[in-house]
Amino acid sequence: MVFSSKIIAMEISGIQQMGVGIPRVQEAFDWYRNMFGVDIKVFEEAAEAGLMLPYTGGKPHDRHAILALSLQGGGGFEIWQYTSRTPEPASFQVELGDLGFNVTKIKSWDVKAARTHMKAHGADWCSELTETPSGTPCFYVRDPYGNHFQVIQASDWFKREKHPTGGVYGAIIGVSNLNKSMAFYRNVLGYDRVVSKSEGTMEDFSGIPGDNGVFKRAILQHSKPRKGAFSPLLGSSEIELVERTDRPGRKIYDNRFWGDLGFIHLCFDVRGMDELQAKCETLGHPFTVDSASSFDMGEAAGRFSYIEDPDGALIEFVETHKVPIVKKWGWYIHLKNRAETKPLPSWLLRAFSFNRVKR
């Protein structure tokens, strides 16, 4: 399926994926599939990461990556493992308010059922059920690699199924200056709606490293619906910013490489990359990495770029050019020259189910 060439306007279609550096890619995929239901394998590739040199010590490195999605909706996971070197953990216990991605948000239509499911399937730690400062039900869970997730009630679904969670709904991000970071996420990424803003100790953080800290905290959403080919599947999202006020935050990836253990980037599906680049430069956040043209990822292709938030957390943009719908039939869609802001047909997005990995 190929779309005609037209002038392409800039749009952010939603969170495409959270990148997570782990030590064993297949094991991690199985865990995220069982716990979060991200069982659609969009692509899997073992190759050299040659364009991230500013964040990999100036040298290319080999890696193995899997992009996994949930058909219920939400972003996916780019599960990422170095194969040419041993991925390194942070030299300190990462705590809430340290600079970068602290927690990944997972959307759920029943957080109580989700917690029951995860405890029954071997999660080694789940918090008690609680609520965010805005009153939204949630709980926290930890994966086998020490990464924390907030499972949070959400209302928008592409195709509701039996599993009680969908995909990635956003992130809790440690920042050094709350107001400065709020401006960045508003002006660059469209998170212009302040759901809540609070200060002090946070009871709902109980059990997460750094839960006894004192914080400034803001929960942000976007007031305008996302547009673009994959917007119904990716859905709405939420960014939560936390500034530690009782001590300075530490950079989570200080003296480490992108791809080392932990949450490595937050990726947005976009269209109109040239226009987005101009916007980011005007706002003082130029691209630090840019594939410049279509980059082949084996089963998928697209142009990708990176910027840094005010504290150096990496935001990735991907303009999808080719993606497999049904791999075994060789059925791909090609989007490079698609100009329409309207989404792809629901029947076409639902066909991703043919790439489902069964338990």
pLDDT at 347: 92
pLDDT at 302: 83
How does pLDDT run along the chain (359 residues), one tens digit per residue? 433 344 456 899 999 999 999 999 999 999 999 999 999 999 899 989 889 999 999 999 999 999 999 999 999 999 999 999 999 999 999 999 999 999 999 999 999 999 999 999 999 999 999 999 999 999 999 999 999 999 999 999 999 999 999 999 999 999 999 999 999 999 999 999 999 999 999 999 999 999 999 999 999 999 999 999 999 999 999 999 999 999 999 999 999 999 999 999 999 999 999 999 999 999 999 999 999 876 766 667 789 999 999 999 999 999 988 887 776 666 678 787 776 678 999 999 999 888 899 86
Sheet strand arrangement including 137-142: 130-131, 137-142, 148-153, 100-108, 165-175, 238-244, 215-221, 193-200
**Which residues, listed in sequence order, are joined to residue 193 by a DSSP beta bridge?**
221
Taking a C-beta distance cutoff of 8 angstroms, is the pair 41, 68 a contact? Answer: yes
pLDDT at 294: 60
CA distances from 77 to 20, 170, 176, 255, 307 (A): 7, 12, 26, 24, 19
pLDDT at 325: 73
Report the candidate in 140, 55, 136, 62 with the shortest Cα–Cα distance to residue 96: 140
pLDDT at 290: 95
pTM of the model: 0.94
Cα-flanking dihedrals φ and ψ of residue 318, to 5°?
-125, 125
**R_g of the chain, CA atoms, integer Å:** 19
Hey, what are 55's tokens? 């964040």
Sorted by where each starts, the structural domains of the chain and their CATH numbers stand as 11-355 (3.10.180.10)
- Tallying the residues shown for the chain, one arrives at 359
